Structure 1
């Protein structure tokens, strides 16, 4: 927070508020403009990713701004950022704005950004220290210690009983550690004693103090206490001078794990530590992917529920039909019983409940006991078995057809699940919702607003100059493959794995091996196999791809194809995205 405060001060003091957005109920974005630059300041009160920093990834905004957003626009539009304050090393920043009220008088408004996990909040405070409004209002039923309601005096969160390295010497921290229970792990002891440090920093101090060993305060040697004193002194100097640098820890699979203002060595060769240029870039890189998934998950809950219910219903239906189909496998026995009764009517009398006949269909000619209806004649009993046989045969044909249709529908829903997992903006969700309405899974709702225009497919350029188009969803896959692509273009799709249709635009040229491989990488990256290795990707000319009559969106058949195996490379895909953004 101290480093973020410094970045905001250096870049945006004196900047004016140009626009204010509220993408969702837990996030705000302030567009700040100076005479030479513009910045987007993200304020998040989301429990698992609360933070404040400059961002390049601006979330999509709702069509109608929430009430708090309109209030902030009214009070802070055009206001100048005058100061950024941080009490000690507390996890909150106070942004002071010079604004003009309704009477034209200049006033000092403060935006309190509290970064405290699930208690995070964004609060607007007026010139008299009164709360104007807050992102999360807290009444007496929610908390008896601190109320956050319009009209009340704003009070800082109650301080924790921790030591601030801006105010005390490191020796005071050591004294506090000695006073803790003897069996406390050093990292937990540091976390409970010092203000403004994260668990990863405390673990790193324990790691370097013990040279990789886990330490408890009661077992530490004099040398280890001296090493701890040295590292605490060095960290205190870093904190007081706003030193340090942004470091991010990623797994070997390129997934963000941790971040810090100091180099992290505790993971050894199990992770990769990279240094970023700015702390805002660090937080942007760490949280961007996670927040996108969180936003899409929140906005797509209704679609996930529809798809899950439909998939569960189909799975139960298929299981029941398969069980019934297994029972139909006994139909030949019914026909045999009918034949044996017909061939032996002279041996059977009306009123018998069963009869034992020689089964001449079996080479061993065993005796077969056949149940009879005593109320029926032998001929009627034979016809009863023939009727049951015909019914079972018809049921088998119908069940086989119905199971096949249900399995195809299940495969289609699987593709919708996949495209929903890749949705990145509200427009993607709108198109998926429209697709489900067209297929009858969602009831169409009357709306005066026009449906959003269909988005263009994702576009890339291979390293040797070929255009590559990737469909975003099933409806776009159909449009891209069946209408927009040329017959001589190359069509690619992961083999037996839900994913996007990918078109390598040839424009009359022979596609190079490089272009085919890069298009296959994109097809694999935009499929369910994006986290796998050696993903099979089929490719053929568009002329060999066709859509069966009545097939669901995105479902096609193809012939005369080849298969290439690729391992999706996230860094390569991001590189192609950046190169495409530069071209535009």
Structure 2
């Protein structure tokens, strides 16, 4: 950011000092916004490569995201007493009065250096000792000065240039005969962008040798640049900050929707595969029928060779260690499980496709939301709090939590009240399910609802008559050094349920 742009921003504020501060906002990790009463936000973008100082109306939001931002929030308090630019260099000093209270906050000085790739923000006490900064600078990086907590702040090296604010025609006389570009190079606070703007205003090529008749035109152009610097740095820099803030707000919302979509897409694939496996169920049931019909004629061995009901020879792999009758029972059982899964898939496919379509629409809506709308959406989700696991309601109105992975299982079990009821399928991997009774009596429909959820969200999904254990959470514990979600429990009772998704689940 060029010096004259900084001067223009400060010029609008210095006459109104001292200004009451109303706290800090941090739109992202490289931007701090000081809320000034009656002014708006004094925005300091202090991370390379495009630092910025600007005043933005309204009230920005954003919590501290780095240790340095938390230090600013705690130490830079009280009225803003002074705003000063070092010559027209890219160095700005902000002096804070401090606050008296239960714990007094001492006065501080904030040094903002919007110097391109070396941009930095440095917090000092009034004696110049550095209390904290965004980026430490070692001697290996800068031989002239070292910046780190505990050292005295050293400004950038001094220089001699023409001050465009006080420039007179006589000050330009020594430059007669030299190219206009040389004069511009010696102007304090003017970089590439303002140099191009000045050339546009004076309507002279940069290599024009300065003649006496040029001086009034050039001087008028310089004065107009001081009064009203123009260019793209201010607006584009602000716009970039707002875009970054909007993206920072949008990213977690987008990722949450994408995770949910991924889960639903995986579930949809499971349903489609369940339908495809109906042919397998039909084959298994046919094998069972043939084994039952020819059981007495099948010799021992791994394969049964029999004729099907159309006269064609069929090879049937028998279950090792079981008789043909027992193998047939196993085939019937597997076919029944596949058919139940397919039946459930037929019911859930349209719902899941509709849910995915709704998520796609929500993702599209999210990308179109403005910065202010994204703030409201983020605030609404924060007020609702983090949601771990599935949250459902039992028939009797109790809240039911379902863990979707080992970390959620572990967290939900630890979050549960000691008198909540904990459910888990017996002897198989699956979800921890919490029925939030908090010691109140639960009716059988509530218990069956939670038990079915535990069975459905386990490896027994689709089976019939699945045993599910339940016990108060106080009887569940995680053994020392056990992985997340691995627990032991006592004093459990057992319910036998079909591992199908209950109505309302």
* TM-score normalised by length of structure 2: 0.52
The answer to whether structure 1 residue 292 and structure 2 residue 245 are counterparts is: yes
Contact 2:40–2:58 (CA under 8 A) maintained in structure 1: no
Secondary structure at the counterpart of residue 385 of structure 2? helix
TM-fit CA distance, 1:393: 1.5
Superposed, 1:454-473 pairs within 5 Å as none
Superposed, 1:61-100 pairs within 5 Å as 62=63, 66-73=70-77, 77-81=78-82, 84-88=84-88, 90-95=89-94
**How many equivalent residue pairs?**
362
Rg: which structure is higher?
Answer: 2
- Please point out which of 295, 299, 318 is paired with 1:350: 299
User: 1: distance between equivalents of 2:379 and 2:256?
Assistant: 19
User: 2: distance between equivalents of 1:414 and 1:381?
Assistant: 46
Secondary structure at the counterpart of residue 154 of structure 2? coil
Superposed, 1:19-168 pairs within 5 Å as 19-24=21-26, 26-32=30-36, 38-47=39-48, 50-60=51-61, 62=63, 66-73=70-77, 77-81=78-82, 84-88=84-88, 90-95=89-94, 111-117=110-116, 119-124=118-123, 128=127, 130-136=128-134, 138=136, 140=138, 143=141, 145=143, 146-157=145-156
Contact 2:124–2:130 (CA under 8 A) maintained in structure 1: yes
User: 2: distance between equivalents of 1:135 and 1:327?
Assistant: 63
The answer to whether structure 1 residue 229 and structure 2 residue 189 are counterparts is: no
TM-fit CA distance, 1:53: 1.4
Cα 1:378–1:79 change in 2 (3 A) is closer
Secondary structure at the counterpart of residue 207 of structure 2? helix
Secondary structure at the counterpart of residue 148 of structure 1? coil
The match for 2:374 is 423
User: 2: distance between equivalents of 1:369 and 1:202?
Assistant: 90
User: 1: distance between equivalents of 2:53 and 2:345?
Assistant: 58
User: 1: distance between equivalents of 2:55 and 2:255?
Assistant: 35
The answer to whether structure 1 residue 330 and structure 2 residue 288 are counterparts is: no
Contact 1:372–1:381 (CA under 8 A) maintained in structure 2: no
The match for 1:371 is 316
TM-fit CA distance, 1:411: 6.2
The match for 1:393 is 339
User: 1: distance between equivalents of 2:380 and 2:158?
Assistant: 44
Cα 1:285–1:43 change in 2 (3 A) is closer
User: 2: distance between equivalents of 1:45 and 1:142?
Assistant: 22
Over the residues paired in the alignment, what is the CA RMSD in angstroms?
Answer: 5.6
Contact 1:26–1:135 (CA under 8 A) maintained in structure 2: no
What per-residue deviation string (whole Å, max 9, x for no partner) do you get for residues 75-130 of structure 1?
xx34543x632444x433345x596999xxxxx985432113564323345665x2
Report 1 or 2 for greater relative contact order, CA contacts < 8 Å, sequence distance ≥ 6.
2
Superposed, 1:529-544 pairs within 5 Å as none
Contact 2:19–2:80 (CA under 8 A) maintained in structure 1: yes
User: 1: distance between equivalents of 2:256 and 2:48?
Assistant: 27
TM-fit CA distance, 1:358: 5.7
The match for 1:266 is none
What per-residue deviation string (whole Å, max 9, x for no partner) do you get for residues 217-245 of structure 1?
xxxxxxxxx95536999999745642596
Secondary structure at the counterpart of residue 330 of structure 1? helix
What per-residue deviation string (whole Å, max 9, x for no partner) do you get for residues 256-305 of structure 1?
xxx25xxxxxxxxxxxxxxxxxx5xx3686246314325526xx75x777
Superposed, 1:233-252 pairs within 5 Å as 238-239=221-222, 241-242=224-225
Contact 2:271–2:342 (CA under 8 A) maintained in structure 1: no
> Where in structure 1 are there 5+ consecutive unaligned residues?
103-107, 177-189, 209-225, 249-258, 261-278, 447-548, 552-584
Contact 2:131–2:149 (CA under 8 A) maintained in structure 1: yes
What per-residue deviation string (whole Å, max 9, x for no partner) do you get for residues 188-234 of structure 1?
xx99xx98546x7899999x9xxxxxxxxxxxxxxxxx955369999
> Where in structure 2 are there 5+ consecutive unaligned residues?
101-106, 165-170, 392-400, 416-502
TM-fit CA distance, 1:430: 0.8
* TM-score normalised by length of structure 1: 0.46
User: 2: distance between equivalents of 1:379 and 1:78?
Assistant: 89
User: 1: distance between equivalents of 2:246 and 2:218?
Assistant: 35
Contact 2:19–2:79 (CA under 8 A) maintained in structure 1: yes
The answer to whether structure 1 residue 18 and structure 2 residue 12 are counterparts is: no
User: 2: distance between equivalents of 1:323 and 1:354?
Assistant: 28
Secondary structure at the counterpart of residue 16 of structure 1? coil
User: 1: distance between equivalents of 2:113 and 2:260?
Assistant: 42
Cα 1:111–1:172 change in 2 (3 A) is farther
User: 1: distance between equivalents of 2:278 and 2:98?
Assistant: 82
